[in-house]
Amino acid sequence: MERRSFISRTGLGVAAGAGLLLAACGKKEEPAKKEAATAAPVVATGQTVRWRLASSFPKSLDTIYGAAEVFSKIVKEGSGGKFEISVHQGGELVPPFGVVDAVQNGTVEVAHTAPYYFFGKDETFALDCAIPFGLNSRQQTAWMYEGNGMTLMREFYKQYNIVNFPCGNTGAQMGGWYRKEIKSLADITGLKMRIGGFGGRILSAIGGVPQNIPGGEIYPALEKGTIDATEWVGPYDDEKLGFNKVAKYYYYPGWWEGGPQLSLYVNQKAWDALSSEYKALVTAAASHAHVIMQARYDALNPAALKRLVGAGTQLRPMPRPVMDAAFKASQQVYADLSAKNANWKKVFEDWSKFRSDQVLWFRVTEREFDNFMSAQKL
């Protein structure tokens, strides 16, 4: 379906965006205001805007990089071409891990990235993405939009001159590619593994040696033996990156990423300069891209996994002792952080309570349904 047709049929644009913006802020539309918004045209401003978006990802990964392109196209079409956002792959404008500084300083107006890349600045960044044994994708979205997530993260990001928006999720990820089998916790000791975000801290706590490497640089590092293992996302992306050619064993699940959320970072000054209509449009476009990214991963991963296994990949479950040790280590790390990082403590306490309720709810319905369906011969 063409996106212009999608916008016109669904009312995405000013009306939908305004509602999403109000929802994100925890506000409800008054009936009279809702009627007025519904009647508004898609383009209700003469403002001409040109932004540059710096992605943390290579263009070759059409799923994760593609979410920024989806966002950009919706904004352009919803504004009748008056609001254009050019999308640039990691390293084209700024380094993949330099996007926070670039948005904060106004070097670029907007970025698309995985917030947990920046836990070195403050561990709280990771709660806007994923931490080990955290929320799955649906739960993370629920916390952001219907819990206190958006409010708490917006408050946190103010110190970086950033306005954040959820903008994609990969769903639960795989546990990575390994040159040798992982049979016990002892096999983790000394293992040099490329692992993103907060997962590296927990890997280190159970004896591994984490390496933080951008997506485009992982393959040569694994091929040359600079690293012993790597994780990225899942079958579709991993097949594109060719990891199966240099590592035989493919483990699951990625306990460090049950539902990693991508974020759109907008410079505060650039955001403030937008009209209310364009703010609503940006909000709606980010939300649409958020849905599309996971839909693509869910649609593309099954066939990719079949191809990988058919080509000789050895699929393995992560040993339970490794999972248990990692879980125990994560709880200690979180407790230590709460004792020394006020930002983390404030957000984590709310996030943690939300997680407890979500796990209880999913245990009652989702888990039992999924377990039954996985046992069927379909």
- Three-class DSSP labels, 261-327: EEEEEEEHHHHHCCCHHHHHHHHHHHHHHHHHHHHHHHHHHHHHHHHHHHCCCEEEECCHHHHHHHH
Q: How far is CA 98 from CA 55, 103, 115, 153, 266, in A?
A: 10, 9, 12, 20, 14
What is the Cα 12 distance to its own chain's centre? 23
CATH 2.40.30.10 correct for 3-169+259-298: no
Average pLDDT rounded to a whole number, residues 342-355? 98
pTM: 0.87
SS3 112: strand
pLDDT in tens, 10-44: 444 433 444 444 444 444 444 443 333 333 344 45
pLDDT in tens, 115-142: 999 999 999 999 999 999 999 999 999 9
Closest CA to 118 of 137, 107, 102, 134: 102
Would you say residue 83 has pLDDT above 50? yes
Give me the phi and psi of 127, to 5 degrees please. Answer: -70, -15
Higher confidence at residue 267 or residue 14? 267
- 132 contacts 200 by C-beta, under 8 angstroms: no
